[in-house]
A and B are shown apart, each in its own frame.
Chain A
Amino acid sequence: MVLDSTNPIIEVKDVSFRYDLRSSTETLSSINFSVQKGEWVAIIGNNGSGKSTLAGILLGLYKPQFGSVTIAGYELNEETKWEIRKRMGIVFQNPDNQFIGSTVEDDVAFGLENLNMPYEQMKMRVYEALHMVDMYDYRHADPTRLSGGQKQRVAIAGLLALQPEILLLDEAFVMLDPKSRKDLLKTLQKLKSRHQLTIISITHDMNEAASSDRIIVLKNGTISSIGTPKEVFSKELDFEAPFTEKLRRILQMKGRNVPNTYMSEEEMVEWLWK
């Protein structure tokens, strides 16, 4: 099937899912959204709101009891999931169990071995990915003995080496120190604009969410709002807002004449200068 450019690269229609068929509460209910190629979508929401479950559904790990998922032109099912996984990769929330290889470079190569990639090409991809996350010096280390942040970086390298069209990141930066987080986000932004990558990032970092193209807010398994950061942050008031929004609200409380909607960093700087 040919993907025409107007079709979304991910389309989730009316998806409902429960882990336990006997229970009446749904982990996810009536989820609808679509993502365009080249978009960076942040998914935010409290713990237990179903973010990781949604990622599992997109990957075909869990089968929704209702609804359909279409990714890169394939309707997700048992047959197409392998094709989809060649185009979409994930960094899982818990880095401890996602290492298969017993050294860093072996682990980064695991996904490439599964594609039956020739050795020389594999080596290039592995080292390139390790340089991108700044873990090349650790290529012979045992991944289980690394720090949390280093583990997450290796996991990201494993994903980047695959050069997927779609990247799913499930709280993939939580254990990183602020500087490496910033560096990695920058690297991803660069890759995204160069190769038209689609990124879906589950995050608690509101500043990261604020710099995304769109935000999906999950609440108890339903989408409570979806839209640009501007739209979402002016509407969802019970979230720990990104820095600029917090500043805006404080200024507003103090009776300053600030605009009524969320402002990006540049807009805020612009406004402050006036």
Chain B
Amino acid sequence: MNKLIIGRYLPGTSLLHILDARAKLIAGFYFIFILFFAEDWPAYILLWSFTFWVMHLSGVHFKTYIRGVRPLIWLILFTVCLQVLFTAGGEIYFEWGPVTISQFGIVSGIYIFFRFVMIIFISTVITLTTKPIDLTEAIHFLLKPLRIFKIPVEEISIMLSIALRFIPNLLDETQKIMDAQKARGTEFGKGSLFQQMKTLVPIFLPLFVSSLNRAEEVANVMEVRGYQPNARRSSFRKLRWKWADTLSLVIMIFLTVGLLIMNTIV
């Protein structure tokens, strides 16, 4: 199994699996949006409780989510460090040129860390419980209004769905090439950073070539099966909005109210 959990769908029958992809997408984006209005720890506690509740509802093991964060941990820590090092204010513990470690810096660094992890958790919840095809259908639906600005919504959504459809193939292929290079004596993840980068070249070159070939073949297949950009197409997927979907959005409103109240506590 591949380690990458982001963007992967796990079949299941939880309440979240049943929700309409549009509801999940709207609620997810809305959650990330209100995240930035959380001012202090009571608000963070509320948002974390919500996040854990949703993660619990998905029926997916908590470990799976941790695995989802792991590949991004360096990116998160990097952002946190920047925040810590370049924010002044409050008590100052250390100062060297523009670099300061201050009370405010540490506090906002911690908040940023939690915000980051929450965003990853929530988006992982969505992708784990939603079929990629339903997700693209939902994106397609939500982007529809942009058509009046002459944005090619249909083409974007079919591009997305095909990209998602071929990610497993790409991962399989990467694994195959890595195995082939290992069999030739390449060791990955050893030596200096420069050496490690060098071992990646014989992976990316064949991967690049095979992807180009694949792209051409897939384009031919689409064409032969009658796909014409700009032509009207019907859709075999039907998204159905249910009461539970409306309810999930109502819950988001309650969450907002709760957040505003929490903000006034401290």
A residues adjacent to B (C-beta < 8 A): 56, 59, 61, 82, 85-86, 89-90, 92, 94, 96-103, 105-106, 109-119, 122-123, 126, 142, 144, 158, 162
* Nearest A-chain residue to B162, judged by Cβ: A100
* Nearest A-chain residue to B235, judged by Cβ: A113
**Residues in B whose Cβ lies below 8 Å from that of A142:** 168
Cβ-defined contact, A116 with B217, below 8 A: no
B contact residues, total (Cβ < 8 Å)? 29
Q: How far is the CA of A82 from the CA of B214 in the complex (A)?
A: 23
Q: Does B238 contact A (CB under 8 A)?
A: yes
**Residues in B whose Cβ lies below 8 Å from that of A162:** 226
Binding site secondary structure of chain A: helix
Q: Does B10 contact A (CB under 8 A)?
A: no
**Residues in A whose Cβ lies below 8 Å from that of B221:** 92, 97-98, 100
Q: Which of B133, B169, B228 contacts A101 (CB 8 A)?
A: B133
Q: How far is the CA of A102 from the CA of B11 in the complex (A)?
A: 13
B 218-253 to A, binary, CB cutoff 8 A, 1 in contact else 0: 101111111110011111111000000000000000
- Further contacts, 7 of them, CB under 8 A, given A82-B226, A114-B231: A59-B224, A85-B224, A102-B132, A106-B236, A111-B225, A119-B236, A144-B165
Q: How far is the CA of A113 from the CA of B238 in the complex (A)?
A: 13
A-B pairs with beta carbons under 8 Å apart, 28 shown: A61-B220, A94-B217, A97-B217, A97-B218, A99-B165, A100-B225, A100-B227, A102-B132, A102-B161, A102-B164, A103-B133, A105-B236, A106-B236, A106-B237, A110-B225, A112-B234, A112-B236, A113-B233, A113-B235, A114-B225, A114-B226, A116-B231, A116-B233, A117-B234, A119-B234, A119-B236, A119-B238, A123-B236
Q: Does B140 contact A (CB under 8 A)?
A: no
**Residues in B whose Cβ lies below 8 Å from that of A102:** 131-133, 161, 164-165
Q: How far is the CA of A267 from the CA of B131 in the complex (A)?
A: 55
Cβ-defined contact, B232 with A116, below 8 A: yes
Q: How far is the CA of A102 from the CA of B7 in the complex (A)?
A: 14
**Residues in B whose Cβ lies below 8 Å from that of A99:** 165
Binding site secondary structure of chain B: helix
Cβ-defined contact, B236 with A90, below 8 A: no
Distance between A94 CB and nearest chain B CB, rounded to angstroms: 8
**Residues in B whose Cβ lies below 8 Å from that of A111:** 225-226
Q: How far is the CA of A96 from the CA of B217 in the complex (A)?
A: 10
* Nearest B-chain residue to A82, judged by Cβ: B228
Given contact pairs A102-B161, A106-B237, A144 touches B168 in the complex (Cβ within 8 A): yes
Q: How far is the CA of A117 from the CA of B236 in the complex (A)?
A: 9
Cβ-defined contact, B165 with A109, below 8 A: no
**Residues in B whose Cβ lies below 8 Å from that of A89:** 224-225
Cβ-defined contact, A118 with B234, below 8 A: yes
* Nearest A-chain residue to B222, judged by Cβ: A100
Distance between B202 CB and nearest chain A CB, rounded to angstroms: 23
* Nearest B-chain residue to A113, judged by Cβ: B233
**Residues in B whose Cβ lies below 8 Å from that of A98:** 221
* Nearest A-chain residue to B132, judged by Cβ: A102
The 3 closest A-B pairs by CB, nearest first: A109-B236, A114-B226, A97-B217
* Nearest B-chain residue to A140, judged by Cβ: B11
B 185-225 to A, binary, CB cutoff 8 A, 1 in contact else 0: 00000000000000000000000000000100110111111
**Residues in B whose Cβ lies below 8 Å from that of A85:** 224-226
Q: How far is the CA of A88 from the CA of B170 in the complex (A)?
A: 31
**Residues in B whose Cβ lies below 8 Å from that of A123:** 236
* Nearest B-chain residue to A61, judged by Cβ: B220
B 156-171 to A, binary, CB cutoff 8 A, 1 in contact else 0: 0000011011001100
* Nearest B-chain residue to A114, judged by Cβ: B226
> Of B168, B233, B236, which is in contact with the most chain A CB atoms at under 10 Å from its CB?
B236
* Nearest B-chain residue to A158, judged by Cβ: B225
Distance between A145 CB and nearest chain B CB, rounded to angstroms: 8
Q: How far is the CA of A86 from the CA of B228 in the complex (A)?
A: 12
Cβ-defined contact, A116 with B236, below 8 A: no
Cβ-defined contact, A122 with B222, below 8 A: no
* Nearest A-chain residue to B218, judged by Cβ: A97
**Residues in B whose Cβ lies below 8 Å from that of A106:** 133, 236-237
Q: How far is the CA of A94 from the CA of B169 in the complex (A)?
A: 14
